[in-house]
Structure 1
């Protein structure tokens, strides 16, 4: 892993920066406001987003990716789908996960990894937040304490409280919870130079790694943002595009060798390669996946 020594943000000794965290279903990131602009802080791999995935190892946890194919069964991802929910309300979702989810004594979902590890969705989120916190502290040489965290506009009070709990577990002080559509409207500087003061409404599309949301956001004459209406699909996002690429590869292999059966490790490797392809196809017209090298 590369370190972050070549990336740093300097703050005066008396400055107390406030950090913004996007705790996403599929990917998360942390940013800070400095000299009139938002700076997104890279992780140890020099990426500006960190997969919201936690792998349990015998000697600790790994955030952001699995540590090789032998540990894919010990990796928890998409935990945000379950945060602040009851087991009964997400029971239909469980069939999409490759890991085991149980119900505790008061009906909350709980991840069970092997015979040794158990964790609630809030605890998984806290581990991701702690990883983001450490990366930011390394780059700024400042304690990351005060934060603003984004949440989906459709989150209810219980889900909001669960997000707050995850932050407290990560020893973060949440100054404000802001909905993702409002964050998007603010981040892209809507009306920044418009010179208008009457109330306006805008439509925000938020296509993430795991969910797709749309929202009507009104901005009043004072500049305050208000979410008026939301809708979306909680299972449509970049992960669905990835699934389509994987299905395409599996069908091509089946057409070439109908008797070949992919092992779990091969599927894991294929998923990693297809993820690379998905990202590459955002900028390129083609990408080659060497499926035969995974056998």
Structure 2
């Protein structure tokens, strides 16, 4: 099995010399439907060996990519989040962009904490089928269904949600109360993609969190909670491009891949998505 992202195409760059730090986090502690997110990072790294270095506009790997050792997720969830925070802080110290590969969506919390320590206020652009704004789920504050509630309520970070199409009444009310910005899947379908996606007063620095169930199951089926009516591949890329326009990406993640035997297409799409997002971190955007 491959041990680093794009193995066979590039070497695993030293942490100090890499533009990106890939941080695998094979977390699976609060999945509520289909299982398998613990195998997501390994599947994405393995699939990345089949990627082309040219992403259609540039070669994101030119600046060097360091793949860190996977985070140990066998401990208490709070310890895992702390370890993610430490790994992201180290990437920032190395002047690299941290890129988490999950694992369930809870891993994002550690990244946000670390980046807040460095940058203070920044915005989160969330691609997802779900709002993830529940206060608790199945008795846990740190369920994958609560990650954006922790970001909003605990860290006070502004969020722009894209592609949501499954949420509960609690989340609807919290969206109103906290003024969480959103462009849901149905509105995108009916009205198309706006030329200017983020409002002018949204922070210049952004973190991109991409739950693969934000894509339609026809693109990625291997995820724990697939929901019909999601984003197409090219619409997702267009939305990403418009989100980063005029802004600076300070970190990103791709989460919630739950590999299924024989479904290489989902693994490859998740790897391609991660690499495309790296390309969007270029100053040209």
**TM-score with structure 1 length normalisation?**
0.29
Higher relative contact order (CA 8 A, sep 6+): 2
Give the structure with the larger helix fraction. Answer: 2
**TM-score with structure 2 length normalisation?**
0.30
Larger Cα-atom Rg: 1
Give the structure with the larger strand fraction. Answer: 1
